[in-house]
Chain A
Amino acid sequence: MSSVDRPGVTQLRVARSEWTKLCSLRSTRWSLLAAALLTIGFPLIFASVVEAHWGRMSPSEQANRQPLDIALVGVNISQLAIGVLGVLLITAEYSTGMIRATLSAVPKRLPVLWAKIAVYAAVTFGLALLSVLVAFFGSQAILNSKHILQIGLGDPDVIRSVLGAAAFLVLIGIFAMALGAIVRNTAGGIATFALILFVIPPLLNVLPPTWNQAISTYLPDSAGRAMFALSHGANELSPAGGLAVFAGTTACLVGIAALLLVRRDS
């Protein structure tokens, strides 16, 4: 551990610093808690509703209920919390002026971006995986009281979907961070994030169906969703394809963010 005694900036030290920064804000802790509660809470509510109404459902309705969809329904909502926090972790540096202190300590700048992404990705992965697993077992336990819709982690594609959902949230977080670093403004960053994830996909429905299909399949929303969907239609990407497309898009954005971080005055 001789590097510990040598003075100077290293990537690992910057990561440690960003970890301290992430943990030392009340707003960050609350946002992460909210993301976890949303990921867990919605499946439990959803499972309870299905369990309570099961007897009154028609056989076709019953057939439409997928246990994995129930377990992962919270991811659709918690992605908003993860995304907003991702934007904020970058833009708050600019709005508070902290960026001046940060970049004075690390004037090469890029280590800060890598460290922020790595720390946030690690935190979201751990948190998302844990909450998705809790949601899975929790919703299964609720459904088990009527002995309905039972699946196990070992069933085909289940583990893949659970990991895919956690990976999806990680990529959402990185995607949002890159947007924040490009826009450098909290309102603008969150608006751009919401525009890409929630506004553009339904708007594309006005296009001719073939066009819509050609474009929206590759947007972060549907590409990301393919990562944790259990069944895949003929026009949808495979889980690996979805991961590749969403990860590729995110990597491009991170590249642009890195370039701008080095080039721009701050």
Chain B
Amino acid sequence: MIEAIGLTKQYGSKRAVDDLSFTVQPGLVTGFLGPNGSGKSTTMRLILGLDAPTAGTVTVAGRRYRDFPAPLHEVGALLEARSLHPGRTAYRHLLALAQTHGIPRSRVDELVDLVGLHDVANKRAGKFSLGMGQRLGIAVALLGDPQTLLLDEPVNGLDPEGIHWIRTLLRGLAAEGRTVFISSHLMSEMALTADHLIVIGRGHLVADMSVTDFLATASGQLVRVRAPRATELAALLSDPAVHVTSDGTGSLEVSGLSSDQIGEIAAANGIALHELTPLRASLEEAFMDFTREDVEYKPQVHA
């Protein structure tokens, strides 16, 4: 279990994490979702004690990371930023980290096989592709057979086969009762892997709920309407709680009304409809909806 209470991190004038409180439960895959620059990686660094929080606390299984006598046996971490010397072979990299805990060579060999790096274990890690580097990072995380896994953007650079592999691996680890906390900026990936979501934007908590609830709550229903007299219909639907966008070619997107209600209004006014389609909010849209106000680098749109 990971528990953050009022976690805050200030870098100079920039508040990267702002009064963040959440709990990550064991036995589930918890997705940590947020746009780039929203504070995910900073939160990961705070959990690992690499950075000290400006305020608040974060603990794993009730203890600060720094207080673990054998941290690799408690928490396995894969950080987004590359954390290895490119001149060292994958095997030596793993061995050096294993030795800090007296983890035997046999465990290193086991992991090299498990993550599929057997053929390249004695190659220098700097020559690795992004995907191979990612597998090595996952091997490091699993080295101490920890109860808690902390993976920052684990599918980055993996091919479809690799993505499937890690998804299966993570679900398996959670099923064994471990705490699995993975960050991503890709909602679609999270929907396939995670059970629970913690969403942040600009350093503060936006949502903390199950994936199912998230999708149900996010983004009110959207309905696409095509009608020859679209402009007239748009005027009839007009209401403060209703939002209508028109593409100018007879097609409208309406939020705030169900397709039933729109159909009734159209029929009552004798307007013919060529299409009336309820659009389910896509995962990406739901995510963007939730974090729209919190995106740090918004593209400037000029009409």
Residues of A within 8 A of B (CB): 4, 6-10, 13-14, 16-18, 20-21, 24-27, 92-93, 96-108, 265-266
Contact = CB atoms under 8 A, between A and B. Distances in A.
Interface residues of B, number: 37
Given A105-B71, A107-B68, A107-B71, A8 B102 contact: yes
Given A20-B95, A105-B71, A4 B102 contact: yes
Given A21-B96, A97-B82, A7 B68 contact: no
A146 B29 CA distance: 80
A35 to B, nearest CB: 18
Nearest to B48: A104
Given A6-B102, A20-B96, 18 more contacts: A7-B70, A7-B73, A7-B102, A9-B69, A17-B99, A20-B99, A21-B92, A25-B85, A96-B82, A97-B81, A97-B83, A98-B84, A100-B50, A100-B79, A101-B93, A104-B48, A104-B71, A266-B50
Contacts of B50: 100, 103-104, 265-266
B88 interface: yes
Which of B69, B81, B144 lies at the interface centre, i.e. has the most chain A CB atoms within 10 A of its CB? B69
B71 A92 contact: no
Contact of A24 (B73, B89, B101): B89
Contacts of B73: 7-8
A21 B89 CA distance: 10
A107 B85 contact: no
B102 A101 contact: no
A43 to B, nearest CB: 32
B85 A100 contact: no
Contact of A105 (B51, B81, B101): B101
A14 B85 contact: no
A7 B88 CA distance: 25
B194 interface: no
B140 interface: yes
30 contacts: A4-B102, A7-B144, A9-B101, A13-B102, A17-B99, A21-B96, A24-B96, A25-B88, A27-B87, A92-B85, A96-B86, A97-B83, A97-B84, A98-B85, A99-B83, A100-B50, A100-B83, A101-B140, A102-B97, A103-B50, A104-B48, A104-B50, A104-B77, A105-B101, A107-B48, A107-B65, A107-B66, A107-B71, A108-B66, A266-B51
